[in-house]
Amino acid sequence: MLAVGTAMAPAQGVAAPFAAYVMDARTGKPVYAQNATTRLHPASLTKMMTLYLAFAAVERGQVRLDSRFTVSSNAAAEPPSKLGLRAGQQIELRYLLRAAAIKSANDAATAIGEGIAGSEEAFAAQMTATAKALGMRNTNFRNANGLTQDGHYSTAEDMSILGRRLFYDFPQYYNLFSRRSADAGVTTVSSTNKRFLDAYPGADGIKTGYTRAAGFNLTASAHRGNKRIVATVFGGTSTAQRNQVMAQLLDAGFGRVPARVREVRPEPPQLLAQKVVRRAQVEPKPIATAPRAERMVLTRSEPPRRASAAASTVRPDQLAAAVAQAIATPAAAATPDPAASVPADARMSLASSARPARRAGTAQAVEPSAVDAAVEMAASAPAAAPSGSIAGGVLQSSARPVPSPRSGSASTASLDETDETASAPIAQPATTAEVAPAAVASAAPVAAAASRVMALASSTAPAPRSDTVILAAMGEGDRGEPEPTELVSRAKSGGTGWGITLGPIKSKTEADKLLMQTVLQGGDAVARAHRSVADTARGWEPRMAGMSRSTAQALCDQMAARANSCSVIQQ
């Protein structure tokens, strides 16, 4: 157990019991404890939790430092210590925070709680819930200022936990507890902890408290080199005796903790404030819950078309027999309708169906004698009435095929001679009408086959594919002039060509501190930004560069909300 001297013993006649707790702030481990878990009146140490919730509300965007709070009659009627606020008065939150932290003003603390939660009772419930989330197991709050009230209590251990959380959770606001004085809007306030801050080397906070029921309380934080100690004293007999006991506790703590230790930062709290979520209750209607009949997809599809009966009844042997009969029939017997020998279904199919393309090489099977016989039959037929056959109109309007060049093969020569023999009667329109229908029907497929053969004979042979592999970018490569390169420039509206400028600040130390606070508040969005502090004619200007425009503007808006001068710049 630490020896803290006779000054630790409370004077006679003081009802408040004494309690003390010393903690290594780097790890959260206890160094010394005396009545540390005894539930006592915390007095104005309560304002530490009031300020903790206010800082959290600012960080999550619920309020801003320049938000104006209206002072209620309840807040204005609080007893001293007080700022002197009037009912109905509007004052910015930043001034209320300064008054509560530095002067320990009760009216300012009540105005903060009512402005954030709507009422002091609701704010006290948030304070208690947050205390449980931070691990303060023996704490319950009934008001925001710490005035004595039934059911309002805490312990030396819990207040030390809260002091450590203020240091780690809100380092950007922690310097408020080390100020000796500040402008509170209404007036300039002085610190109630000024004596201890000036007397103890390394002390930088945190909060004092006093009521008759609680005695003189103090939660203090101090650092020496790599060491930081947080300690709490309950039940001091006077300001001087309390400060003396605190100095002895801190000295003993620095002597016992190791110089180097692995820092264990506290986990983020699970609950900063109670959030009410309202869900709409809608009764389902019977029509919405009734099963819905599924529709058949087939009812929307078009019915399939029925196949033609003619196409299904015509067989290849019937078609071949009709063509053979047309070729073998003499010219004299061609007067009646030649289609009478073909079934009706076959005639309909032949008249309406498209002629299939003949495969390459099938023209070789057409005998020249058959072509000669068909042409001779058509030329010797007597004149007759125009036939209703479709072939007649086709032969009249068709153009003569261009003969292909002579080739050395025997099959090509025979087809060329046949084409010359048949060219004379086909070119005369007067005799075309006299051609027998049977002869025309038999000659048409033969002439088409001959035309396709001639077309194939006149086409050029494809160039042989080269097997040479050309390797690009081998050796010296292309010696020709390089193609011009088009340079495309983009506007600097996005990317990382934006930054911010803060200040100016009077001293470089304050500029470095503001720059570090800005980095901590910006998070991952500005972690890789280039940071610098420029020495200008106006003063020191913290600067951050290498961000996108949206990130720079959002960060600048956040800094402006905290009353920091900020400008977005483009590189």
As annotated, the active-site residues are 44, 47, 104
In degrees and rounded to multiples of 5, residue 356 shows phi and psi of: -70, 145
CA distance 518 to 531: 10
Q: What is the DSSP string of 251-316?
A: HHHHHHS-SS----PPPPPS-SS---------PPPHHHHSPPPPPPGGGGSPPPPPPPHHHHH--H
Instruction: Look at residues 340, 347, 338 and name the one whose alpha carbon lies nearest to residue 319.
Output: 347
Which of 167, 123, 174, 118 minimizes the C-alpha distance to 145? 123
Can you spell out the DSSP letters for 224-241?
ETTEEEEEEEEEESSHHH
B/e letters for 329-353, b = 16+ CB within 10 Å, e = fewer, are bebeebeeebbeebbebbbbbbeee
Give the type of residue at 552: A
- H-helix or E-strand containing 544? strand 540-547
C-alpha atoms less than 13 angstroms from C-alpha of 518 in its C-beta half-sphere: 37
Task: Report the distance separating Cα 507 and Cα 78, nearest Å.
Answer: 39
Q: What is the 3-state secondary structure (H, E, C) of 30-82?
A: EEEEECCCCCECCHHHHHHHHHHHHHHHHHCCCCCCCCEEECCHHHHCCCCCC
What DSSP state is assigned to residue 471? P
Closest CA to 423 of 448, 400, 444: 400
Nearest of 541, 540, 561, 539 to residue 500 by alpha carbon: 541
Region of residue 13 (phi > 0: left; psi between -120 and 50: alpha; otherwise: beta): left
Whole-angstrom distance, CA of residue 46 vs CA of residue 471? 82
Reference 233, options 202, 266, 207; nearest CA is 207
CB burial string 509-533: b at 16+ within 10 A, e below: eebebbbebbbeebeeebeebebeb
Long-range CB contacts (< 8 A, 24+ apart) of 9-16? Answer: 10/215, 10/235, 10/236, 10/237, 11/237, 11/241, 14/215, 14/235, 14/237, 15/213, 16/40, 16/41, 16/213, 16/214, 16/215, 16/234, 16/235
DSSP helix/strand/coil, 140: strand
Cβ–Cβ < 8 Å for 368, 418: yes
Give the whole-angstrom CA distance, residue 234 versus residue 96: 26
